[in-house]
């Protein structure tokens, strides 16, 4: 009915010689940022979660940031403020306030939270770098117990261990490995589970999305954890990709399937698809196809009950700072207008499930 009315309106405008007005009206309709059915509504209708990594500063300073986030997403991941150096900046000092701000926002807007992240080789505070190796088990146990305990019952899923496998597929030679040995991974999961038995605990990594050697290493790692009765519930596939390189969707589906067959949940946790700047309109269309294909592949493999993007607006994204010359990686543009990728995900969530 709506499209018939729109067509009649267009014919009237064209016949009355006002075609130049019609274009901006249509463009404004598509770009208003208020599409008829939000992603979160469409996802929720299918029992799915769609999330985004969130930064505190824009949430406090830009009304459009919070409005878009609350309208479109039913899950959020703190992009930085739960990382070790930010939440635990001094040996006896925790800084929960920024993360608490995000938790309050999530609560107000009925969003799930993915906790990110407890054990990582990056964003380690200086005080910890200079601690004695023998102290590490106690320091890590205290950190996990305190942080997970602070949010007990409020965090749906924690990225307990992040990026523990190096690009050559060996265990990464991190401070954790050096001071505690490979057992740090088992211990981290056990401590997190003790601090919040209701949280779903994930191993999270990048470049492990397709059926390559790194994915095999992640598979072997989590299989070992399960065999040792370590409380792990899921694997996070980060999925930071570019238009020039993205994993083969059928391999993603196969990889997700084999992990699901271990009894684990598998989610995309940090999806973004970067483009070379200045981004062409045609590239933005192709980007939309990549977004859709990758999430569809994960769903096909039996995963992605929750899919998280690493940000949502090109105004705030880690990409330009880390990949000079690249950007436009997200589904809303700098002015919070939905891009083709937004409509691609909308199409995917609207599609009849097979
Ligand atoms: O907040 C400070 C600011 O006060 C200071 O002026 C500025 C100068 O460098 O730095 C700002 O902090 C930066 C922070 O992002 C907030 O923008 C840090 O330097 C920068 O290192 C940090 O980068 C984050 C990166 O993780 C840290 O390694 C990115 O925002 C964040 O998107 C990125 O996220 C990671 C995931 O946690 C794990 N998977 C990969 C993903 C992308 O790298």
In this structure, how many other beta carbons lie within 10 angstroms of the beta carbon of residue 20? 8
Is 256's pLDDT higher than 70? yes
d(Cα 123, Cα 119) in Å, to the nearest integer?
10
pLDDT of residue 231: 98
d(Cα 296, Cα 292) in Å, to the nearest integer?
6
Q: pLDDT tens digit string along 50-98?
A: 999 999 999 999 999 999 999 999 999 999 999 999 999 999 999 999 9
3-state secondary structure 8-19: HHHHHHHHCCCH
C-alpha 224 – ligand 1 centre gap (Å): 31
85 lines ligand 1 (CB under 6 A): no
Three-state DSSP at 236 gives strand
Ligand 1 atom having least distance to the Cα of 317 = 32
- Going by C-beta distance under 8 Å and a sequence separation of 6 or more, which residues neighbour residue 334? 313, 314, 315
Least confident piece of the model among 23-32, 269-278, 340-349: 23-32
- Going by C-beta distance under 8 Å and a sequence separation of 6 or more, which residues neighbour residue 289? 344
pLDDT of residue 36: 66
pLDDT of residue 200: 98
| Mean pLDDT to the nearest integer, 317-327 | 98
C-alpha 318 – ligand 1 centre gap (Å): 7
Nearest to 190 by CA among 155, 152, 145, 150: 145
pLDDT of residue 22: 29
d(Cα 144, Cα 149) in Å, to the nearest integer?
8
Encoding tokens for residue 54?
Answer: 């969130």
pLDDT of residue 29: 34
pLDDT of residue 8: 40
pLDDT of residue 353: 60
Which residues are annotated as catalytic? 163, 270
Is 1's pLDDT higher than 50? no
Q: pLDDT tens digit string along 148-185?
A: 999 999 999 999 999 999 999 999 999 999 999 999 99
In this structure, how many other beta carbons lie within 10 angstroms of the beta carbon of residue 324? 9
242 lines ligand 1 (CB under 6 A): no
When pLDDT is cut at 50, 70 and 90, the band that residue 354 belongs to is very low
- Going by C-beta distance under 8 Å and a sequence separation of 6 or more, which residues neighbour residue 45? 349
269 lines ligand 1 (CB under 6 A): no
Nearest to 218 by CA among 273, 191, 176, 256: 256
C-alpha 54 – ligand 1 centre gap (Å): 12
Portion of the chain with pLDDT greater than 70, in percent = 89
C-alpha 254 – ligand 1 centre gap (Å): 32
Q: What are phi and psi of 25, to 5 degrees?
A: -60, -45
101 lines ligand 1 (CB under 6 A): no
d(Cα 337, Cα 68) in Å, to the nearest integer?
10
In this structure, how many other beta carbons lie within 10 angstroms of the beta carbon of residue 246? 19
Average pLDDT, the chain: 91
Encoding tokens for residue 255?
Answer: 């990889």
Ligand 1 atom having least distance to the Cα of 117 = 37
Q: What does the DSSP 8-state code read for residue 210? A: S
pLDDT of residue 35: 53
d(Cα 344, Cα 328) in Å, to the nearest integer?
16
Portion of the chain with pLDDT greater than 90, in percent = 89
pLDDT of residue 314: 98
Nearest-CA residue for ligand 1 atom 16 is 80
C-alpha 273 – ligand 1 centre gap (Å): 18
Least confident piece of the model among 74-83, 177-186, 327-336, 343-352: 343-352
C-alpha 79 – ligand 1 centre gap (Å): 8
Examine residue 155 and say whether the peptide bond preceding it is cis (omega within 30 degrees of 0).
no
d(Cα 10, Cα 26) in Å, to the nearest integer?
9
- The preferred substitution site among 61, 79, 238, 323 for testing ligand 1, maximizing ligand atoms within 8 Å of CB, is 79
- Dihedral sign, CA of 275, 277, 282, 288? positive
Is 16's pLDDT higher than 60? no
122 lines ligand 1 (CB under 6 A): yes
Encoding tokens for residue 204?
Answer: 């999270």
- The preferred substitution site among 98, 165, 318 for testing ligand 1, maximizing ligand atoms within 8 Å of CB, is 318
Is 119's pLDDT higher than 50? yes
Ligand 1 atom having least distance to the Cα of 311 = 32
pLDDT of residue 253: 98
């Amino acid at each position: 009915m709506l499209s018939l009315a729109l067509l009649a309106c267009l014919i009237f405008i064209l016949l009355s010689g006002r075609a130049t007005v019609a274009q901006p009206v249509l463009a404004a309709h598509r770009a208003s940022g208020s599409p008829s059915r939000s992603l979160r509504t469409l996802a929720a209708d299918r029992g799915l979660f769609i999330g985004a990594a969130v930064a505190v500063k824009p949430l406090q300073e830009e009304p459009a940031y919070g409005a878009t986030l609350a309208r479109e997403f039913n899950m959020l991941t703190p992009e930085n403020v739960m990382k070790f150096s930010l939440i635990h900046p001094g040996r006896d000092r925790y800084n929960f306030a920024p993360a608490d701000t995000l938790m309050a926002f999530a609560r107000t807007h009925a969003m799930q939270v993915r906790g990110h992240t407890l054990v990582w080789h990056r964003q380690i505070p200086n005080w910890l770098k200079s601690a004695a190796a023998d102290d590490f088990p106690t320091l890590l146990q205290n950190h996990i117990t305190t942080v997970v305990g602070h949010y007990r019952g409020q965090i749906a899923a924690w990225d307990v261990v992040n990026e523990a496998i190096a690009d050559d597929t060996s265990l990464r030679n991190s401070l954790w490995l050096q001071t505690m040995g490979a057992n740090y991974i088992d211990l981290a999961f056990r401590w997190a589970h003790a601090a919040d038995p209701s949280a779903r605990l994930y191993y999270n990594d990048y470049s492990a999305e397709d059926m390559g050697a790194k994915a095999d290493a992640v598979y072997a790692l989590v299989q070992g954890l399960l065999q040792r009765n370590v409380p792990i519930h899921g694997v996070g596939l980060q999925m930071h990709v570019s238009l020039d390189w993205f994993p083969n969707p059928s391999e993603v589906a196969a990889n997700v399937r084999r992990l699901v067959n271990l009894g684990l949940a598998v989610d995309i946790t940090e999806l973004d698809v970067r483009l070379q700047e200045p981004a062409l309109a045609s590239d933005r269309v192709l980007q939309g196809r990549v977004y859709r294909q990758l999430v569809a592949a994960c769903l096909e493999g039996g995963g992605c009950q929750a899919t998280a993007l690493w940000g949502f607006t090109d105004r705030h994204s880690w990409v330009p700072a880390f990949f000079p010359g690249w950007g436009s990686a997200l589904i809303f543009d700098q002015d919070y207008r939905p891009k083709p990728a937004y409509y691609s995900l909308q199409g995917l969530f609207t599609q009849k499930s097979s």
